[in-house]
Amino acid sequence: MMQPNLDLLIPAYVREFEPYIPSKPDAELKKLYRCDRLLRLNNNENPLGPPPGAQEVICKFSPPSGAVYPSGDSYYLRREIAAIHGIDPDQVLVGNGANEVITFVIKAFCEQGDNIITADKTFAVYEWVATFSGIEARVIPLVREGFDDRGMLRAIDHRTKILFVCNPNNPTGTYWSRKILTDFLDAVDGRQIVVIDEAYFEFVEAADYPDGIALIRQYPNVVVFRTFSKMYGLAALRIGYLAGNPDVVDMIRRTCVVYSVNAIAQEAARAALQDDTGHIRRTRELVAESKAFLCEELSKMGLPLIAGEGNYLIVRLPGSDTLAYRKLMREGVMIRPMTGFRYPDHIRVSLARLEAMEVFVGALKKILS
């Protein structure tokens, strides 16, 4: 049988897109790098895991229920989220991780010839989804490691549909204050959709940090992303959501994939929101302790740092980040090299338990000596 002609069948923007290659499973990595244990400091996961109530939901899930389709629109979870934020459940959409809701928004508003605007050193999925969908992604350089509000506004033209703002930014931890954000929204004046990605919302301690969902009533062009992967420790279950104006969300809902969010994820997320055991407080305390330790130790080593909000920081190395990654892997420490974020010679380190931070510092000293 003749092979299909992929050059004719596949759009150029898909053929030319460089795919993201995920890392191998931990067991395979340990064999590859000949290490007995592997500290995962690469994906900003919560070392405390899910809140106790969510853990109980996961443990008690009935196997026969695996044969039953989940709620197609995350009915009860949307009501829980809406009640917390004082909005209508129809203003909330739940997706299979925040990555899926990014896709929902781009598919709802963009067609070929349109563009989105984001930053050059931020969460890459906005750019990726636009590019492999045939949409131009305009990436604006950071200023002082933060999103450049004026640069983004200057990049707008008549085909701009969405502006993506990661607040706080991953990987720099910088954030827009309420004034910077509202001034930006005033300048946009409702002409484009402004997505505020608040994946690390629960980690932020700064007093002038804005709550994007609270701005939706005043700015109906705002769409806010949140996730259960980070603070709530449900990354393995892949669940996140967006919130927005009812008319805007109604349009986005038309691009949704029904039944994409599994039943365990929905119930565990509800339990996480209902948690009263101090999970967020304990996580914040852990992050603060580890951040203080790393900042002190790495500064002693003479390594420049970018340490803002969020459960991660960036370290500038005197050489290649990808080489450092391989050397650290042989020491059983997995970090995120930053070349892919357009930060060559930098690594991002997730803030975990103090013992893990001590191992990381020891391993870093060893490979740099």
Domain span at residue 121?
Answer: 52-273
Q: Mark whether 122 and 217 lie in a shared domain.
A: yes
Residue whose C-alpha is closest to residue 129's, from 108, 145, 153, 155: 108
pLDDT tens per residue, range 242-278: 999 999 999 999 999 889 999 999 999 999 999 989 9
pLDDT above 70 as % of the chain:
100
pLDDT at site 1 = 84
CATH number at residue 193: 3.40.640.10
- Are 216 and 226 within 8 A, CB to CB? no
Question: What total number of domains does the chain contain?
Answer: 2
CATH number at residue 35: 3.90.1150.10
pLDDT at site 98 = 85
Calculate mean pLDDT across residues 347-353: 98
6 pLDDT higher than 90: no
126 pLDDT higher than 90: yes
Last residue of a domain, one of 273, 296, 313: 273
User: Biggest alpha carbon distance in the chain?
Assistant: 65
* Residue 1, domain member (yes or no): no
Calculate mean pLDDT across residues 300-324: 97
Calpha distance 101→95 (Å, rounded): 6
Q: Mark whether 10 and 21 lie in a shared domain.
A: yes
pLDDT at site 162 = 98
Last residue of a domain, one of 224, 242, 273: 273
pLDDT above 90 as % of the chain:
92
Residue 336 binned pLDDT confidence (cut-offs 50, 70, 90): very high
Q: Mark whether 29 and 65 lie in a shared domain.
A: no
- Determine the Cα angle at 191 with ends 186 and 193, to 5°: 90
Q: Mark whether 223 and 113 lie in a shared domain.
A: yes
CA distances from 154 to 117, 148, 149, 151, 158 (A): 10, 10, 9, 5, 12
* Residue 204, domain member (yes or no): yes
Q: Mark whether 211 and 164 lie in a shared domain.
A: yes
20 pLDDT higher than 90: no
Which residues, in sequence order, are CB contacts of 207 under 8 Å at separation 6+? Answer: none
Residue 8 binned pLDDT confidence (cut-offs 50, 70, 90): confident
* Residue 185, domain member (yes or no): yes
Last residue of a domain, one of 225, 240, 273: 273
Q: Mark whether 91 and 232 lie in a shared domain.
A: yes
